[in-house]
């Protein structure tokens, strides 16, 4: 199934994006070229969907001259699980967006539109928690594209670079084709059982997030606040104590930490 992505480009870094009118969907010639690039990275005999997406991410980062690429599945507005990445550093960078509660990947899922950031240093006002941390980790440009079929967003392909830059029309066309092929891989996998082909990292990520939601519920009861505020309190406490959100959740569930009511 083909899932064409017609997008209006928005640069949150402050610089204009060339040819910012809705982008024409990539043509068959570009599809064959990009698929051939992906096929140069040999598939394992027992390759699952996550392995195939890993190969796609590696190829996308290399072809576009970027530091990394990741496919993030976002089953609901509050969940976030990195399913594939070109390298471990990119996987960690993407997963940190969930801890911060903000970032381009989450914005794409909310808006169903691409979020293109030519310079993260100029986007700190939009993401005061995420942008400075990402820049400090060496990420300066981010291009996040929805993996979308109609009104349904299956996930996000996020491309990151170590230097400020923008995509020209040709590069944007190529990035859209990688998103197109990633969407089709996810659609093909949707006809099987949810667990088939997804690697342990994906399930581990979902388990970690399940712990966070359990701790969120406990915090809601302890403090007598709504669920969104409970998660916001947890994130604030994790930030203030320089602690990972998942580690804090474990401590809350074990009863070793109870957030102060006046926080």
Q: What is the pLDDT of residues 185-225, one digit of tens each?
A: 887 754 333 433 444 544 455 456 567 777 878 888 888 88
- Are 36 and 59 part of one and the same domain? yes
- For residue 72, the tally of other CB atoms under 10 A from its CB is 27
- Are 54 and 138 part of one and the same domain? yes
pLDDT band at 139; cut points 50, 70, 90: very high
pLDDT at 232 over 50: yes
Distance from C-alpha of 215 to C-alpha of 251, rounded to nearest angstrom: 9
- Are 175 and 64 part of one and the same domain? yes
CATH at residue 247 = 1.10.10
Pairing verdict, β 152-161 and 141-149: antiparallel
Domain that holds residue 102: 28-189
- Are 90 and 128 part of one and the same domain? yes
Question: What integer is the mean pLDDT of 109-123?
Answer: 89
Question: What integer is the mean pLDDT of 172-180?
Answer: 93
Last residue of a domain, one of 165, 189, 213: 189
Residue 3 lies in a domain: no
Q: Which residue has the higher pLDDT, 65 or 83?
A: 65
Residue 238 lies in a domain: yes
- Are 175 and 205 part of one and the same domain? no
pLDDT band at 3; cut points 50, 70, 90: very low
Which residues are within 8 A (CB) of 125 and not within 5 positions of it... i.e. 6 or more apart?
A: none
pLDDT at 12: 53
Q: Which residue has the higher pLDDT, 125 or 150?
A: 125
């Amino acid at each position: 199934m083909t899932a064409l992505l017609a997008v209006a480009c928005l640069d949150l870094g402050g610089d204009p994006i060339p040819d910012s009118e809705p982008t024409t969907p990539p043509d068959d010639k570009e599809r064959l070229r990009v698929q051939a690039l992906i096929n140069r990275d040999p598939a394992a005999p027992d390759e699952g969907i996550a392995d195939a997406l890993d190969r796609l991410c590696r190829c996308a980062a290399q072809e576009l001259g970027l530091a990394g690429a990741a496919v993030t599945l976002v089953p609901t507005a509050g969940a976030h699980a990195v399913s594939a990445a070109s390298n471990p550093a990119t996987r960690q960078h993407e997963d940190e967006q969930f801890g911060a509660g903000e970032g381009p990947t989450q914005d794409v899922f909310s808006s169903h539109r691409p979020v293109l950031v030519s310079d993260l240093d100029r986007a700190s006002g939009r993401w005061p928690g995420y942008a400075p941390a990402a820049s400090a980790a060496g990420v300066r440009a981010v291009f996040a594209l929805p993996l979308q079929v109609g009104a349904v967003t299956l996930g996000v392909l996020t491309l990151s670079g170590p230097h400020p830059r923008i995509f020209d029309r040709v590069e944007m066309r190529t990035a859209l084709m990688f998103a197109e092929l990633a969407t089709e891989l996810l659609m093909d996998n949707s006809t099987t059982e949810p667990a088939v082909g997804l690697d342990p990292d994906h399930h581990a990520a979902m388990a970690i997030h399940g712990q966070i939601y359990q701790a969120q519920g406990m915090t809601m009861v302890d403090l007598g606040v709504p669920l969104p505020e409970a998660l916001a309190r947890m994130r604030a406490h994790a930030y203030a104590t320089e602690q990972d959100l998942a580690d804090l959740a474990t401590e809350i569930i074990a009863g070793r930490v109870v957030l102060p009511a006046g926080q």
